[in-house]
Structure 1
Amino acid sequence: MSEKKEAVRAAKLLIVGGGPGGRVSYITARRFGVEPAVMVMNEEPTVICSLPYGVGRRLIPDGPEATVVDLSREKRLPPDAMKDVVFGSVTSIDAAAKTATVAGPAGETKIAYENLILAPGAVPWLPPAEGILKEKGDASGPMVAVGDRLVDRSRLADGVYVLRGAADARALDELAARAQKVAVVGTGAVGLEIIEALSDRGVAVVAVEALPHAVSALDADMAAAVERRLRERGVELRLNDAVASWFPGTLTLRSGELTADAVVFASGVRPRLDLAHAMGLKIERGIVVDAAQRTSLPSVWAVGDAAQIADAASGKSVLPLIGTLAMRQAMTAVMDIAGLPAQLPPATLWGVSEIFGLHWGSVGWSEEAARRAGLNAISLSLPVRSRDPFMPSGKDAVWKVVLSAGEDEGFKPGQILGFQIVSAGDNPVHLAERFVDVVARRETVQDLFGHYFIHSPAHNAVDDPFLALIALALEKMPRR
């Protein structure tokens, strides 16, 4: 009697992960004829950055469901994309045999691949506080990191929430409809956006931050404006504090107890590295890749939140955790697979958001981060008015530029390491993009002379802030 043969699906390219990096990998593969391409995903695809706004309803009045990506109707995807999607979790990868095993609703699927792109993304991180986990869950697939271990997300205790996927957004949306008071742990971009979303729904919010000031991407002097805006809108701030335990209705902090209907952890994310570890890939802060996104194993590439890059300003390894950068990494990897020369352009970290009408942005290194890394950095702060003084529609902003003093090996005097902005009204996205290029190209503050400023009375004031920064630098930088 012959043995039953196991069915194996064949793929020119296997993509593990359906987030921004995974989806753009698939789109690019189809565009360049790298087929068949198979994409494995264990959660509904969403526009992750928009999830808080679906809860708050200010920008997305239709709620969280509007952020869910319908793969059969998504305009950027081929109309037959669903034939290439496998729902489930990759449980193992045999890099030598080039096979992967997927466990999903339809059972177990074996996939034989020629090329592999890992885009496993990141999972919410929670401190290992007492009471935040139940003994058992339903093994639903999506995970969280609690301390240094991966845990099924279904094990989160009653009243404990995170926000990373569609199911999380639905749960938080339901909470916003009934809760009176909620604690939000973490004041990064996502934490602030959750705070605003819950406040917009009429929920009283207590913001808990482990650092001495809000928004770790900003320095304390810049974050102070964010803290003022939060307090003005009735948000209670608990800075330099930490969660000790959760019991439904009571959150115990280092500073004492507070009553709350729930606690939402927006305390950061960690890259999903379990498959990479099992495969024996080289890992440091994340999966080590070269400029073409190749890993330490042949025929394996990595993109997105789990892949580390070299910060262009300093050369140090960083985990960007940026969706739009993941898309470029995906295109780079697939072009390499398709036989086209491609390298990821030099990049640095960035983040831009808004809280209660106050805009903030950060590019590259903050002054605090630079000094923690042992870099000799100085900073320049520049008040900027968005219109001329005789125009009442003008808004106040502050720019801050972090510079190398030139005393560290590999850095030029006056090299721009980072940029920050806090603005009372104007969108800082394009300005942040400009400084991403400046920082990534290792330009100095003197090089800003070559960045022309265009004045339009309807859009900005006549004073050139780039010239003002140069003048400040000439006053502050040591003369040689």
Structure 2
Amino acid sequence: MLSLSRGIGAARTFPLQRASRALSLFCSATMASDAAAAKKRVLIVGGVAGGASCAARLRRLDEKAEITIFEKGPYVSFANCGLPYYVGEVIKEQSSLLVANAAKFDKWFNVAVKENTEVVSIDRKAKTVVARDVTTGTDTVHPYDYLVLSPGGNAVRPPLPGIDLPGIFSIKTVPEANAIKSWIAEKGVKRAVVIGGGFIGMEMVENLVHRGIECDLVEAMNQVMPPFDPELVEPVHERLRSKGVTLHLGDAVAGFEPGTSGADGSSKEEGAGLLRVLTKSGKKLEADLVLLVIGVRPETTLARQAGLTLGARGGIQVDEQMRTSDPDIFAVGDAVEVKEVVTGEQTLIPLAGPANRQGRIVADVITGNEPSRFRGSQGSSVLGLFGLTLAGTGASEKTLKRLGLSYDKVYLHANNHAGYYPGARQMDLKLLFDPKDGRVLGMQAVGEEGVEKRVDVVAMAIQKGATVFDLEEAELCYAPQFGSAKDPVNLAGMVAANSLRGTHPLVHWDRVDLGALLAEPGAVLVDVREPGELVKVGSVAGAVNMPLSGLRQQLQQLSQQEGADAKKYYIYCQVGLRGYLATRQFLQAGLDAVNISGGFKSFQQVAPKL
């Protein structure tokens, strides 16, 4: 019985063991299948800022994802903002520009990088892309679960006569920078023409001058740095001219032709160059090197061919999570249209900071890590030029005018740190705000030191929806070598807040018709600076000088004159402070007065435009 029991028990055990093993194998296979299904295949087209950031964060969030970056150039992640300084030999080694290479992506992030590989087509239905090795021409097909487009932008190169002549370069990649450096060395370049006065154009001018090359700058608009308001750019014009740069503003390039120098670079005549740049005004500019930096267009070839929706500005249309019109395809960087946070306008903002944030957001969305959204961009940017700094954030006055939005503004000319501490430098600030509630709309500033610090503070204020009343109360770091007890940001907020409260009535030079004002019997232009200042720095013709130092006595006499209270007094000083003090005295003497924002310094900056 015992034996039988054992036998029966053993007979029953064998099938159970087999079933258990079968179940175990089935579960393992199912788990493997589920794991394979859960393993996301993410293809990223383009590296540099947006694509590389997306890949790195995606790996940090998901160790199992299969991630591949396709980069049609030889460098998957390089600092393209450093290219002008590499040409100028401020950055000595090419290796300094290479943020990460394929080997680093492999070792650090287990990300496959295929350099010199261009994605040439997308099959949205099959969820595959065709990638072409640019050295061999070989095509391969790659499936994806998610596709991220980070193709960047293409340098604008209009079909002008002679555009393909040797010696005419764009600069957007490391190979292009190397080609420029080689041309300078081989041809012994002495004179260059830079076409385009934007960020890259300005940086290229500075770096060419740094190398001892004379420069002409051609810009179709009447100012360099078109995103900025013209009065803030006047100091930039002055600095360029002081460095020997010849400006051709309001003039566009019409074409190119071979220069009058010999084929070996020897001159046949005085001032000859290898090339000649023809402008629409009829100028002929000799050059040994031409840099064409008139902007970039979003690279949308793949997106367009795949039938993805494009926006009104020509960029790829995306939602707040950077999804295109295909929910499994995302797009980031210079190729996409984004919301400008102040105006709500869809626009193109080709900046590295927003591109990096967009790449991170895509990684969050793909992994389901958090409900990440791109709030938009306010275009915060900065330029360094021959020791001068120009920075801005939010909307410019030009943009607000174009969109018909309500705004007001104040100008301020303040020291970057306490005036009694050695080395103080004056900077010019322009603050734009909503006259209804004081919400900050934008700031631009120019000067030698401390400029970007103030603009950064205002950039965060805009992000948080702050008002000018918040700026006047902002608690900022202070020591005499860094700032003042009343920081320029505080002062700008105070001036704007006082204007909104009605205790500091303001007007601006560009809103004053000086001819009509001086001809009008009821209007008086008052300069409250000291007489010696007028002799030293100049004055506005027709202004009455009433120095602040003796103003109270003069006001006593003036207020007793018949008809004095029927007039309106437009007051200015050098930078605005004494004008404010004088305005308060006029008002409390029962006289109608306004302060002209920014004083004579602002007049000098806007006078060419009046």
Alignment TM class, shorter chain as reference? 0.7 to 0.9
Give, in whole Å, the separation in 2 of the partners of 1:449 and 1:207. 40
- CA-CA distance at 1:364 after TM superposition: 1.6
- The offset of 1:391, in angstroms, is 2.0
Residue among 295, 298, 315 paired with 1:268 = 295
1:49 corresponds to 2:81: yes
Is the contact between residue 193 and residue 287 of structure 2 (CA under 8 Å) also seen in structure 1? yes
Cα separation, 2, equivalents of 1:328 and 1:70? 18
- CA drift at 1:456: 1.0
Matches within 5 A, 1:299-378: 299-341=328-370, 342-378=372-408
- Cα deviation, residue 397, structure 1: 0.8
Give secondary structure in 2 for the equivalent of 1:126.
coil
More off after superposition, 92-101 vs 103-112: 103-112
User: Match for 1:109 among 135, 140, 150?
Assistant: 140
* Residue 189 (structure 2) pairs with residue 179 (structure 1): yes
C-alpha distance after superposition, 1:141-193 (max 9, x if no partner): xxxxxxxxxxxxxxxx3121111000111012223332111110111111111
Instruction: Describe the SS at the equivalent of 2:401.
Output: helix
Counterpart of 1:194, as a letter, is M
**Aligned equivalent of 1:386:** 416
Q: TM-score when scaled to structure 2?
A: 0.68
User: How far is the alpha carbon of 1:373 from its aligned partner?
Assistant: 2.4
Q: Distance in 1 between matches of 2:441 and 2:109?
A: 45
- Give 2:485's match in structure 1, choosing from 430, 449, 462: 462
Unaligned runs of 5+ in 1: 1-9, 134-156, 407-412
Shift of residue 275, structure 1, vs aligned partner = 1.0
What letter is aligned with 2:395? Answer: W
**Are the aligned partners of 1:132 and 1:160 in contact in 2 as well (CA < 8 Å)?**
yes
**Letter of the aligned partner of 1:382 in structure 2?**
L
**Counterparts of 2:80 and 2:397, CA distance in 1:** 29
Q: Any gaps of 5 or more consecutive residues in structure 2?
A: 1-38, 259-274, 504-610
Of 421, 424, 445, 2:468 maps to 445
Deviations 1:87-143 (A, max 9, x none): 31111101111010011134111110010111111111133322213xxxxxxxxxx
Answer yes or no: is the 8 Å Cα contact 1:310–1:316 preserved in 2: yes
Q: What is residue 167 of structure 1 aligned with on the other side?
A: 175
Question: Is contact 1:27-1:78 (8 Å) kept?
Answer: no
Find the partner of 2:317 among 288, 295, 298: 288
The answer to whether structure 1 residue 254 and structure 2 residue 252 are counterparts is no
Identical pairs, percent: 28
- In 2, the alpha carbon distance for the partners of 1:47 and 1:68 equals 6
Classify the secondary structure of the residue corresponding to 1:246: strand
Greater mean alpha carbon deviation, residues 299-308 or residues 466-475: 466-475
1:414 positional shift: 2.7
Q: Partners in 1 of 2:439 and 2:86 — Cα distance?
A: 40
Change (3 A) 1:173 1:294: same
Higher relative contact order (CA 8 A, sep 6+): 1
Match of 1:418 among 426, 429, 442: 442
Change in Cα spacing, 1:250 to 1:223, as seen in structure 2 (3 Å) is same
> 2:68 corresponds to which letter in structure 1?
V
Q: 1:160–1:81: structure 2 CA closer, same or farther, 3 Å change rule? A: farther
Distance 1:80 1:313, change over 3 A: closer
Instruction: Describe the shift of the 1:447–1:264 C-alpha distance in structure 2 as closer, same or farther (beyond 3 A).
Output: same
| Distance of aligned partners of 1:73 and 1:115 in 2 relative to their CA distance in 1, 3 Å threshold | closer
Instruction: Kindly indicate whether the alpha-carbon contact (under 8 Å) linking 1:41 and 1:88 is maintained by their aligned counterparts in 2.
Output: yes
Matches within 5 A, 1:178-217: 178-217=188-227
| Alpha-carbon offset, residue 65 of structure 1 | 4.5
Of residues 460-469 and 32-41 in structure 1, the stretch that sits farther from structure 2 once superposed is 460-469
Quickly say closer, same or farther: Cα 1:282–1:50, change in 2 above 3 A: same
**Secondary structure of the corresponding residue to residue 361 of structure 1:** strand
Instruction: Find the counterpart in structure 2 of residue 277 from structure 1.
Output: 304
Q: Please give the secondary structure, in 1, of the residue aligned with 2:126.
A: coil
Aligned-residue offset at 1:80: 6.7
Change (3 A) 1:97 1:166: same
Residues 259 and 11 (structure 1), Cα distance of their counterparts in 2 relative to 1, 3 Å cut: farther
In 2 relative to 1, CA 475–463 (structure 1 residues): closer, same or farther, beyond 3 Å? closer
8 Å Cα contact 1:359-1:422 kept in structure 2 = yes
What CA deviation, in whole Å up to 9, does each residue of 1:317-375 have, x standing for no partner? 12121112111101100111001121124431121120001011011211122212222
Whole-angstrom distance in 1 between the partners of 2:111 and 2:421: 54
8 Å Cα contact 1:88/1:102 also seen in 2: yes
Amino acid at match of 1:340: N
Displacement of 1:415 in angstroms is 2.5
Check the 8 A contact 1:207/1:237 in 2, yes or no.
yes
Aligned residues: 438
SS at match of 2:197: coil
Separation in structure 2 between the aligned mates of residue 478 and residue 270 of structure 1, nearest angstrom: 45
2:496 is aligned to 473
Q: How far 1:279 sits from its partner (Å)?
A: 1.4
Write the distance in 2 (CA, Å) between the matches of 1:77 and 1:316.
Answer: 40
1:38 aligns with 2:68: yes
Give the greater-gyration-radius structure (CA): 2
Identify the residue that residue 121 of structure 2 maps to in structure 1. Answer: 92
Q: Is the 8 A contact 1:377 1:403 kept in 2?
A: yes
Task: Output one character per residue of 1:410-429: Cα deviation in whole Å (capped at 9) or x when no partner.
Answer: xxx43222111111233x44
- Distance in 2 (alpha carbons) for counterparts of 1:436 and 1:321: 17
Residue matched to 1:229: 239
Asked if 2 retains the 8 angstrom alpha-carbon contact of 1:39 and 1:84, the reply is: yes
- Give the partner amino acid of 1:52: P
Give the one of 241, 246, 265 matched to 2:251: 241
Q: Which amino acid aligns with 1:471?
A: M
Distance 1:235 1:466 in 2: 33
**Could you say if the C-alpha distance between residues 161 and 191 of structure 1 is closer, same or farther in structure 2, counting changes exceeding 3 Å?**
same
Partners of 2:177 and 2:162 in 1: CA distance:
22
Residue 123 of structure 1 corresponds to which residue in structure 2?
A: 154
SS in 1 for 2:250: coil
Write the distance in 1 (CA, Å) between the matches of 2:106 and 2:217: 39
- Distance in 2 of aligned mates of 1:31 and 1:263: 44
CA distance 1:128–1:364, shift in 2 (3 Å): farther
C-alpha spacing 1:345/1:92, structure 2 compared with 1 (3 Å)? same
More helix by share: 2
Question: Contact conserved, 2:67 with 2:112, CA < 8 A, in 1?
Answer: no
Check conservation: 2:194, 2:205, Cα contact below 8 A.
yes
